[in-house]
Structure 1
């Protein structure tokens, strides 16, 4: 039982009754409407897609933790209204966000926003 499980490898060792009990208990918790801790933690985080990371780097945009929290709060507000793909405007920056996955899809600075056309969004949140 001391053997580590790595990604892409299944554990084929003996299954103890305590492991089965723990698995069943987590299923019981999720059936009552409570989310497992790992899922709650994942839901509260803000993710950046590879595309967004490239755009942030190309455009010289550096996000501070306070700004990331503001974007997270904006995503929470958009989710509360049923948004799926949202435009978040903050200072001289714009972000297209997949609300369900809490993922920033792309990022723009004021220079990139000159066309003023945003497509495939269903909502907008303005952060003062």
Structure 2
């Protein structure tokens, strides 16, 4: 009797911790489109650069929280449409916001903005 030996290809063994496998199980229950919708619907908060904070303080510009909330919504909407840097015009202020970085770059009062030339922006948001 002849012995035949078949060699099986060697497969690496991957060890998973329990937390990792539960994460995998949890996310595998969701479709890609559900995960994408969740991630894109997350609203990211704006940060104010040091420069913009100084300008707001020097120019005594204050913006109410509900207005900040509206700005964040519109900046995120603009970001989804491909805008990277936007001019945001308010009743009392104008600001340049990097949608790409979610950062307020600079702020000025609305009268000062009337005599400025804004360059390197690819979107404008007007909130009255």
TM-score (norm 2): 0.67
Question: Equivalent residue for 2:125?
Answer: 125
How many residue pairs end up in the alignment?
A: 113
The answer to whether 1:115 aligns with 2:115 is yes
Matched ranges for 1:39-58 at <5 A: 43-58=43-58
Matched ranges for 1:2-21 at <5 A: 17-21=17-21
Question: Equivalent residue for 2:83?
Answer: 83
| Residue ranges of structure 2 left out of the alignment (5+ in a row) | 1-15
TM-score (norm 1): 0.67
Which runs of at least 4 in structure 1 moved beyond 6 Å after TM superposition? 37-40
Matched ranges for 1:23-38 at <5 A: 24=24, 32=32, 34=35
Which has the larger Rg?
A: 2
1:115 counterpart SS class: coil
Looking at structure 2, the residues matched to 116 and 66 of structure 1 have their Cα atoms a distance apart, in angstroms, of: 27
C-alpha RMSD of matched pairs (Å) = 3.2
| Residue ranges of structure 1 left out of the alignment (5+ in a row) | 1-15
Question: Equivalent residue for 2:67?
Answer: 67
